[in-house]
Structure formats: structure tokens, C-alpha cells
Structure 1
Amino acid sequence: MALNCSPWVLLPPVYSICTAAGLWIAYFVALKNDKILPLTSEYRRRNGSFYAPYISNTGNFPPGSCIFSEVTNLAAFLGSFVAVLRFLQLRHTTKAWLNVVSLVAFTASCLGLTLVGNFQLMTQKTVHNFGSLMMFGLAILYCWVQSYITLKVNLMNEGKMAAIVRFLLSGSITVCTVIYFSLLSQRLHMHAARCQWASAMLLLTFLGTFAVEFRHCHFDVMFTEKHGRPISTSESLAEDAGHLPNQL
């Protein structure tokens, strides 16, 4: 079975792992430069030198801000790419409007991520917070919609098990986000920061689970001349013979 596995299976987990690693690198750089407090400590800000370890605060000060911006921009681009491939995979298996809503939600979420990465919290607070709400809110919507689609499509008879995992992850992300805003309103910054990090890591874990379906599909590119005569063609093949191939 491993020999029939598509190389695209690597994209979701590699994307999730690399994005998580980049965020944690920005965190440790900010920590080393005494800009934020450790996640394991209590919130005691001294002379403005230490801030609660929110993800956004790791990207407030150079050189961590440079790493943070680069990571978020790359994550937004590759995340949109993953969402497009997932859209193509599902276009013949689920309701078109639901698939489109899912794609639009996540690409808009990726746009919000670029706002978070390029407009620092301390210099452009309004834009940064809008991007953060846009990113997390639409990403949560995407998770719930994809969980539902996974259950209904039941691709290769693996959908039910994958859907259970995704529903649990979607619920966990939602709960962590609600708790985050509750703690933030009470100014319990350290606990709120931990919930924020948990939400981000759970979201990346959710995206990594797309490897389950991606291992069954091949996505290739078709080029044509001006008059429509194919120069080179390559069809996207799915192991499920009942579904039409996809082309990117």
C-alpha cells in the first residue's frame, strides 16, 4: 500500500511541521532577547521589557519580527495552495457551494494571516487584531465545514474515522479560542497566551490530517497554446475509479 501512496501525502504534514517550527523559533528568539516571558512563568512585566508570550508579541521586535513575518507569509501562501488542492479533490464528491464556501473561508483566513505577520501589534494594532480575528474565525469555520464534508464524502471508506478526529480537533480549537477570549477579557494574560498557542498548534494539526486523503490523489498541470492545442497534458488521478480526475 505504501508503494501506491501519492507523494502529495507529504505536503500537509510538512506544511504543519514547518509552520509550527517557524512560530516556535520566533518565540525562542524573542525569549532569548528578553522581550517576552516564558510560557511557563507568571505574568510580571518589569519596566516594559517583558510581555506576555502571545504569538503576536513574538513578532513585535527584531530579529524575531523578521522570522515571524517570513513564516506567516509562507504559511499563508502554502496554506492557500493546500486549500486549493483540497477543493479540487472534493469538487466531484460534495455540493459545489459547500466546497466553494470552504475554499473562500480558508483563503480569506490566509489573507488575515498575512495581516498578522506584516502589521505588528504595537505599531498597527487595529489592522493586526482584525487580521487575527479574520484568521482564527474563518479557520475555525473551515475546520467545521471540512469535518462535515469528510464525514459525508467518506473517501475510500476512510472518511468516518478521519471525520471523528477532525470533529474532535475542531471542537478543541473552538473551545481553546473561546477560553482565550474569556481569559483575555479578565486580563489573565499568561493563561490566555497558552490557549492561543494551543489553538494555533491544534489548527496546524488539523491541516496535517489532509495527508489521509492526499495520499490517494495526484495533482498535475496542463499547459495549452493560444489556440487551445495541448502542449503537454497530465491528468490528476484518484485511486477511487468512481470519481473524475482533477486538473490544476
Structure 2
Amino acid sequence: MCNGLHIFPICVVLVSLTTFCVTYILSVWRKDVNPVLPYISDTGTTPYESCLFSFFLNLSAIGAFCTMYIRYRWVRLVSHEERSLRCYNILGLLLGWLSALGLGLVANFQETNLKGVHMTGAAMTIGCGILYMYLQTVLSYKMADTLSLSRVRLLMAIFCTLTATSFLIATVVAKSLRSSTTDTLHWETSEKGYAAHVTAAVSEWLTCIVFLLFFTTFVQDFKRTTASLSFHINTIAEGEGIKV
């Protein structure tokens, strides 16, 4: 029997947030980015920060993958395989895993090297992640979870939707206004689109932080959950061999 499953969502949150903070401090200290809230990916695109960024976000992606699977199995047990919840649960697991896969792409393909793959991963992480939040909220209400917890999940999902929309709009505006000579890692306050860039960066940080904190809403449920692992070995009786 294995207890302590709540450590998975806690580790996802702590490892991810610590990674963002450490790479931000390092990138500012090494003057790889401007200190006024760069994009999260900007802080992990240049060596040596990129090495830490990739390694620890890979751990976060694996942790998120495990957390989402545990949540899926938890819902199955609590709902007693109720048909009306089964589709929501399976769809939530698939979207969650796509979000975790997107985080892996963000970690391993830096924006300055393979921007297309990096942006695809970011879209998967945020887009599928927000849909995952809504599906888990729906499951909470349908399973009659604690009303306050269900409301918290709903508010977090709505907040991420608003900040992600703000990020998308502000990013498009900043890109359309900036000049061809703009160093995207070192925006200057005098450049056109600077305000939109800062707005996009703030929105991105808020979206990612709240999305990560969403995992903490699983902690209490996982604390009262145990998992078991069993091995079965089929032995060959003495005298039996491989017949040719």
C-alpha cells in the first residue's frame, strides 16, 4: 500500500514555481533579459538558464502526468464508474496529458531555437490546461464535492481564461507595434508596443501561477487515497523446457 499521493501535486507546484523564480533571477543577473517581467520562456532560453529550465520543467511535466492520472482514478472510484461522469473523466485525462506534453515541449524546445514547436507546446499547455480546469470543475459539481472547493476551481478556471485572453491579445498588439530592430529579450521602455509587452508578460505569469495552484485543490482528496502495486511471477515447473 502506498500513501502520500498528495505529494505529487505539491511537487508539481513547488518545482515549477521554483524553476521560474531561479531562472528569472539567473537571467536577470547575467543580463540575458530585462528585469521588468520578461516572458517566462525568455528566462529559460539562454544557457545556462535553459539547462535548469529544461531539466526541472521535465520533472514538472512528469509530475503533472502522474497527478492527472491519480485524479482520473480517484474520480472513477468516487463516482463508482457512473456513466454520466465517465466521458468527462476520460476527456479530462486526455486534455490533462496533452497539457503535460505541451509543458515538455516548452521545456525542451527553446523559443530562440525552434519557435514553432515551442509556441505549439505553450498553446497546448495553456489551452488544454484551461479546458482541463473546467472539466475538473464540472466533475466537482456533478459529484457534489465541497461547494467552496467547487467554487474555487471555477473561479480559478475563469481567471485563467481572462488572463490567457489578455496574454494573447497583448502579445499580438506588441508584435504588431514593435520595430524590426527590437531585441525581444531586451525590450526598452521607449519602444512602441512596450506597454502591450508588459501586459502580456504579466498575464502570462498570472495564468501559469494560477494554473499551477489549481493542482493544490487535489491535495485533500489525495491525502485520503492509497494505491497498491502487486507483482505476479509465472514460474516454469522443473522439467519443463523450451521445446524446439
Per the normalisation by structure 2, the TM-score is: 0.81
Match of 2:50 among 65, 86, 92: 65
Is 1:195–2:203 an aligned residue pair?
A: yes
* Cα distance between partner residues in 2 of 1:118 and 1:13: 23
Aligned counterpart, 2:129: 139
Aligned counterpart, 1:177: 164
For residues 4-35 of structure 1, give each alpha carbon's deviation from its aligned partner in whole angstroms, at most 9, with x where no partner exists: xx632333223212211111111111111101
* Cα distance between partner residues in 2 of 1:103 and 1:210: 14
RCO greater where, 1 or 2, for CA within 8 Å and sep 6 or more? 2
For residues 96-121 of structure 1, give each alpha carbon's deviation from its aligned partner in whole angstroms, at most 9, with x where no partner exists: 22111111111111111111111110
Is 1:166–2:153 an aligned residue pair?
A: yes
Is 1:30–2:50 an aligned residue pair?
A: no
* Cα distance between partner residues in 1 of 2:172 and 2:119: 15
Aligned counterpart, 2:107: 117
* Cα distance between partner residues in 1 of 2:162 and 2:60: 23
For residues 221-244 of structure 1, give each alpha carbon's deviation from its aligned partner in whole angstroms, at most 9, with x where no partner exists: 1222248xxxxxxxxxxxxxxxxx
* Cα distance between partner residues in 1 of 2:87 and 2:230: 25
Structure 2 letter corresponding to 1:223: F
Is 1:153–2:143 an aligned residue pair?
A: yes
Structure 1 letter corresponding to 2:170: L
* Cα distance between partner residues in 1 of 2:149 and 2:224: 14
Match of 1:103 among 73, 93, 113: 93
Contact 1:85–1:219 (CA under 8 A) maintained in structure 2:
no
* Cα distance between partner residues in 1 of 2:4 and 2:17: 21
* Cα distance between partner residues in 2 of 1:121 and 1:200: 17
- CA gap of 1:167–1:74, structure 2 versus 1, over 3 A, is same
Aligned counterpart, 2:230: 222
- Identity, % of aligned pairs? 27
How many residue pairs get aligned? The number is 207
Higher-Rg structure is 2
Q: Any gaps of 5 or more consecutive residues in structure 2?
A: 175-195, 236-244
Q: Any gaps of 5 or more consecutive residues in structure 1?
A: 1-5, 41-52, 228-248
| TM-superposed deviation, 1:182 | 1.0
Contact 1:39–1:193 (CA under 8 A) maintained in structure 2:
no
Structure 1 letter corresponding to 2:22: I
SS of 2:226's equivalent in the other structure is: coil
* Cα distance between partner residues in 2 of 1:58 and 1:80: 24
Aligned counterpart, 1:3: none
Structure 1 letter corresponding to 2:136: Q
Runs of 4+ in 1 over 4 A off after TM superposition: none
* Cα distance between partner residues in 2 of 1:212 and 1:39: 36
Match of 2:6 among 9, 13, 17: 9
Contact 2:8–2:63 (CA under 8 A) maintained in structure 1:
no
